[in-house]
Structure 1
Amino acid sequence: MEQQPDDVRAAVGGRLRAARAARGLSVGALAARAGIGKGSLSELENGSRNPTLSTLYALANTLELPLSELLADRPGTEVASPGITARLLETTTGDEGTVEVYALTLSPGAVHVSAAHGPHVVEHLLVTRGAARAGPAGAETDLETGAGTAWTSDVEHTYRALGGRPASAVLVVRTPT
């Protein structure tokens, strides 16, 4: 993953620290609940570590927040994990919840496994280039360019490029209030 600018890492760290403090959690307690190292969380909060997509989702899910809130609602912010890169395009929040829009790039040969999100969170995926397999683990859908699918993401789900080539997609995540 490309190194995040210092101001983005600092903003992510500040959001993490504020969300943790608002819930009365220590660094150790949040790290244990999210399944990450206490030192890693401390480095993230201090803006000295580049976060991965998987780590940020583990923290967002534990804190019961949309990922974009930890990304400081900054369009253009990019995070990655092996096999996947997500760039935040837009976030809107209203009475009914939060809608996040991401541009995804899936690398060939890798499967990205995403942990379950909160209850009633729905993901909509539209493949814009190449082919991909995505959806709830064990019930994924194969998608060609121009095809889409949606699923309730309160279960483990996966993303994979097909055909030995990268794939691009737009992902819309709706988190109810």
Structure 2
Amino acid sequence: MDVGGRLRAVREARGLSQRQLARKAGISNATVSQIESNAINPSVGALKRILDAVPMPLADFFATGEAPAKVFYRAGELTEIGRGGVSYRQVGTDLTGKALQILTERYQPGADSGRIPLKHQGEEAGVIIRGELEVTVGDQRAVLGPGDAYYFSSAEPHRFRNVGAEPCELVSVCTPPSF
């Protein structure tokens, strides 16, 4: 996917200049310009922060307009919305009007959700399937392993990081879809 071109189209559709978007997202104008020209690839956390300023959920950013009647999804049909060392595979593509977002997540060793903590409206929960994941919510931090779970208000600043030596896999849910 042409992330830079898609960001430019979204920004222009909202009537925002690069400078306005940068100011709202708390980043430099040069960063927006470099992303739009595909000179740099933003982390998922950085892209989420930029899209929160639009506002637009990550799911909508990557949506391709699937048929609304789809009920079953094979493993190969999940929509990849991650980048770099983090894979977020979403059930469905267009979550417009939906109340729930389900992801299978995979963090490579040392990978994280981004330097800047995520923060948005709603709730999040997840269950670790394999590996270890450090979850930080506000001033609380825990390393979770297989079978462990988390559940919190997404309005709290939060961050995820694989602190183990092997990939970490989990299934998560977010309501409303905002990631």
Report the TM range for the smaller structure's normalisation: 0.7 to 0.9
Aligned position for 1:128: 129
The number of residue pairs the alignment matches comes to: 164
* 1:13 matches 2:14: no
Contact 1:108–1:165 (Cα < 8 Å) also in 2: no
1:114, distance to aligned residue in structure 2 (A): 4.8
Q: Which one is further off, 167-176 or 26-35?
A: 167-176
1:29 aligns with 2:20: yes
**SS of residue matched to 1:128:** strand
Q: Which residue of 1 aligns with 2:83?
A: 79
SS at match of 2:83: strand
Residues 111 and 54 of structure 1, relative CA distance in 2, 3 Å threshold: closer
Contact 2:60 2:96 in 1 (8 A): no
Distance 1:60 1:111 in 2: 15
- TM-score w.r.t. structure 2 length? 0.72
The CA deviation at 1:67 is 1.4
Seen in structure 2, the aligned counterparts of structure 1 residues 110 and 147 have a Cα distance that, compared at 3 Å, is same
Consecutive unaligned residues of structure 2, counting only runs of 5 or more, are 65-77
Structure 2 counterpart of 1:59, from 26, 32, 50 = 50
Say if 1:51 and 1:126 are closer, same or farther in 2 by CA, change over 3 A.
same
CA contact (8 A) 2:60 2:95 kept: no
Q: Deviations over 1:82-112 (max 9, x none)?
A: xx51333334525344525242315249785
Partner of 2:151: 150
Other structure's SS at 1:30 match? helix
C-alpha distance in structure 2 between counterparts of 1:174 and 1:131, whole Å: 24
Write the deviation string for residues 15-67 of structure 1: whole angstroms up to 9, x where unpaired: 32233223321101101221222222123223443222222011122122211
Unaligned runs of 5+ in 1: 1-7
Compute the RMSD of aligned alpha carbons. 3.0
Counterpart position of 2:119: 117
Hey, what's the Cα distance between the residues in 1 that align with 2:100 and 2:5? 20
Q: Select the structure that is richer in strand.
A: 1
**Partners of 2:128 and 2:168 within 8 A in 1:** yes
Contact 2:62 2:81 in 1 (8 A): yes
Distance 1:47 1:109 in 2: 22
Partner of 1:5: none
1:4 matched residue in structure 2: none
Cα separation, partners in 2 of 1:89 and 1:55, compared to 1, 3 Å: same
